[in-house]
């Protein structure tokens, strides 16, 4: 599935991933291929991206995530890479 992570300033990440874990307002949740469509607010916390045998971590400062047709878009207020 395709993942994009955006902030008001720039595009942080774009690429194919196996899964992504985001800090939802009701708790962290994992998004896998063929996930049901969803829109959720995000709390401050860790985003974990998995794909190609590797793992990347980012820390978000709030935002929104949208999942539709195997495309995940994370709109973050702010972000830093760990």
How many helices (H) and strands (E) would you count in the chain? Answer: 0, 10
pTM exceeds cut of 0.85: yes
Q: CA–CA distance from 15 to each of 4, 25, 43 (Å)? A: 7, 25, 23
Would you identify the CATH topology of the domain 2-81? ATP Synthase; domain 1 (2.60.15)
5 with 74: CB under 8 angstroms? yes
Return the pLDDT at 52: 87
* Residue range 56-79, pLDDT digits in tens: 999 999 999 999 999 999 999 998
Q: How are beta strands 71-76 and 63-68 bridged, if at all? A: antiparallel
Q: CA–CA distance from 58 to each of 10, 21, 36, 47 (Å)? A: 14, 10, 24, 5
Q: Domain limits of the chain?
A: 2-81
């Amino acid at each position: 599935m395709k993942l994009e992570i955006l902030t008001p300033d720039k595009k942080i990440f774009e690429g194919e991933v196996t899964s992504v874990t985001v800090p939802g307002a009701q708790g962290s949740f994992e998004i896998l291929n063929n996930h049901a469509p969803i829109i959720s607010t995000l709390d401050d916390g860790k985003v974990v991206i998995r794909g190609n045998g590797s793992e990347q971590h980012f820390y978000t400062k709030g935002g929104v995530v949208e999942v539709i047709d195997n495309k995940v878009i994370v709109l973050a207020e702010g972000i830093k890479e760990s």
